[in-house]
Structure 1
């Protein structure tokens, strides 16, 4: 194991608790699209893996790891006459308005990670504009050296393109970078990029699902400073 010199994070389910943040967004979107018709909204919810009654997501929900365009494509058969471009644009604007629930106290965590000399990036399958807005709302924009959305031109996870773009921008060997995420998509992308992989349990996936793709599974990203220090000590000893 190489010493960690860079961390690239997923956003939803990693920086922010997935259920607490995105259940509200999904419910609001579905009810808006159906003018408040709950039965119809529930049907569209099932198509994207969301239970309107409970507010929970199926493990394979489109909302968890897919791009907004892919979520829109899954909904379009249930929305006759809807303009796809307008739908995707509304999804983006609604995401920007979403109230965020942080997975842990983010500003001191990122101050610690940055103070340890780490390069820090974000690679999300969300749009880049709401991604930047969410970092700003959380008060951590200044700690990020790189921010990529699915629309940034590097591709989308589980492809490794956004992660390799971060490593290149930071001048790092991918083996010196850890990908931190809450979904299999994130960890598969990390492995494909040649990075170390850290799973966190603030998304929908459980430890048994993440463990086969992760070097370590942590309860949340607040445990990263200790793990990075241990990885550095192990690399020095090896």
Structure 2
């Protein structure tokens, strides 16, 4: 999708989780398949009151050259761009996603992965993807990760 809709909303618990990660000085990247300029996504994050927590944004807009060459861009491309912007080795990153492409891409890039069951990916399918962890909601993130200083 390339535009914002009135249906856009924060998933419950997101702000609290992002704030906790931010306060521990862990950089946060947001990535989206949305074909929108980073400035537009940043504006949306600010409107939701979470922009200050996000260090890096990567969007489908940055991978649109793949579309021009007749290829469908991949989530892997977008996440790879986010990791490069973070300047952190992929092995030290955690991809948290609620869609199967998030988990597949994170695994392919060598990150740790956490499947969140708030999207279209059900538990049975998530298990088949073999993420490092599966959680029912983002509110349970700190049940499966520990941030080391």
- TM more than 0.5: yes
Give the Cα–Cα distance (whole angstroms) in 1 for the partners of residues 14 and 123 of structure 2.
23
Alignment partner of 1:124 out of 32, 50, 63: 32
Paired position in structure 1 for 2:53: 143
Paired position in structure 1 for 2:16: 108
Asked if 2 retains the 8 angstrom alpha-carbon contact of 1:157 and 1:186, the reply is no
Instruction: Render the CA deviation track for 1:37-67: whole Å, top value 9, x for unaligned.
Output: xxxxxxxxxxxxxxxxxxxxxxxxxxxxxxx
Task: Give the deviation of 1:174 after TM superposition.
Answer: 0.2
**Count of equivalent residues:** 138
Give the Cα–Cα distance (whole angstroms) in 2 for the partners of residues 125 and 212 of structure 1.
23
Of the two, which has the highest radius of gyration?
A: 1
1:184 equivalent to 2:103? Answer no
3-state DSSP of counterpart to 2:96: strand
Paired position in structure 1 for 2:145: 228
**TM-score normalised to structure 1 length:** 0.52
With a CA cutoff of 8 Å and minimum separation of 6, indicate the structure with the bigger relative contact order: 1
Give the Cα–Cα distance (whole angstroms) in 2 for the partners of residues 205 and 168 of structure 1.
27
Gaps of 5+ in 2: 67-72
**TM-score normalised to structure 2 length:** 0.80
